[in-house]
Each structure stands twice: as C-alpha cells, then as structure tokens.
Structure 1
Amino acid sequence: MSKVTDIIIALGTSMFILILWAYEMLITSDIPVVYSFRNSVSISCMLFLFFVVYSFYIKNTKYIQLNIIFLVLPLFLWFIFMLQALIAHYHKYETIVCIIGFSVVFVPFIQLIYWKVKKINTGVEPH
C-alpha cells in the first residue's frame, strides 16, 4: 500500500468514526432524549462496518503510530459520552450505542498499540 493511500485511509476512517459520533450526538440532543430502536440499529451497523474495515486495514498499514494518533480523539469522545450515558441513564438505546461505539474504537486502538509494542520489541514488521 502506498504512503498516500495509507494516510488517506487512516484519515478517512478516523473522520468516519467522528461523523458517527456526531450523528449519534445529534440524534440524542433533544430533551427528553427520544432515541428509537431503528436509530440504534443503524448506528450499530455502521459501527460494526467500521470495525470490520478497520480490522482489515490494521493488518496492512505501515503507519501504526499515525493511526494511533488519529484514533485518540474519537476514543476520547466516545469514552466521555459513554460515561455520561452510564451515569445519567438518559435512554437505554443511547447507552447501548455509546458502549458499542467506545468498544468499537477501543479494540482497534489496543490492537494498534499491541502491534507497535511488538514492532519495537522484535524490530521487525508485525505482518
């Protein structure tokens, strides 16, 4: 994979997860929170799609540190809003989607850190 393609994919996936987060926040911005099952299923499916695509991408990327940096902001945002949803108990579907969103970003983040540590310790590419 070329350098430009790798960077564009990393930036695009990061932007996609940020857009999903913004979409979820837009849906739940009403007071009281009105969050349908249909909305939660659609966002969960898009999160699952992100997870699958990013899992395949992690195996082919050479820029692990760049991907870690690009995932820090979405991970932080999903974490903050997951905590808020767990503490405030606004709506059960919103809480579930926030937990799924955080988990879907956290697992690839941990995978990237694992690959980075493995690369540093062995001195070879982790592919």
Structure 2
Amino acid sequence: MKRIFGACLVLAVALLLFGVLAYAAEKPAAASKTMTGEVVDLGCYLGSGMKGAGHKECASTCITKGGPMGLLTAKGVLYVLTMNHDNADAFNQAKQYAGGQVKITGPATMRSGTRSLQVDAVAAM
C-alpha cells in the first residue's frame, strides 16, 4: 500500500511540475506595431548594401523568385519580414512593393538578435 501511495505521490508531483513549466514557457503574443520603410531584398541589401530606387528592379526580381525580404526603416533598422501562417495575403502583397516605401502592420519580435515583423497589413506610402 505504501508503494502505491508513494508512486501516486511522485506522479502527482511530476505532473504538477510539468504543468508549471509548460505554463511558464508560454510567451504572450507580441503586440501589433505599424512601421514604415523600404521593402528590401535581403540578399542584395545584406551582401552589398543595395537599396533605393536604383535597385528597385533587381529587388523585385529577387523577391519574386523567392528571395527573403525585409523592411529597412528611415533610422536604418532592418526587420526580416515574415508571413502570417493563418493568412499570407498581406505578405504576398508586400512583394509588389520591392524597392518602395510602405507601411506594414503586425507583431514585431526579436529572436537570436534578429528583428522580425510579421506582415498582417501592408500599404504603399
């Protein structure tokens, strides 16, 4: 009888600890922000610093072919643009603004030193 009680007690404590750890690991969703800047193709921008109107055609080609894109703010802060997995429409729409100025709304996060902005809404400026 003592063995059964001991085993049940250990199991109950383990379940309690796992529940607490799982709850602590949950992070609240990032707040939605609206940011403005230029849609850049990350390959050319990070590799060669290419941006602006003179690079618009190349940026459009690279992004259309699947290259990653980012938002470069007026202060020089770069965000990797990410897709909302529930609705990719705004992310796909952002591709048409390669090399152009836009306003993007969505949650901004930072992981491993990389800033990202999920594209929930996009509009030309």
Q: TM-score, normalised by structure 2?
A: 0.23
The structure showing larger relative contact order (alpha-carbon pairs under 8 Å, at least 6 residues apart) is 1
Relative to total residues, which structure has the larger helix share, 1 or 2?
Answer: 1
Q: TM-score, normalised by structure 1?
A: 0.22
Structure (1 or 2) with the larger CA radius of gyration: 2
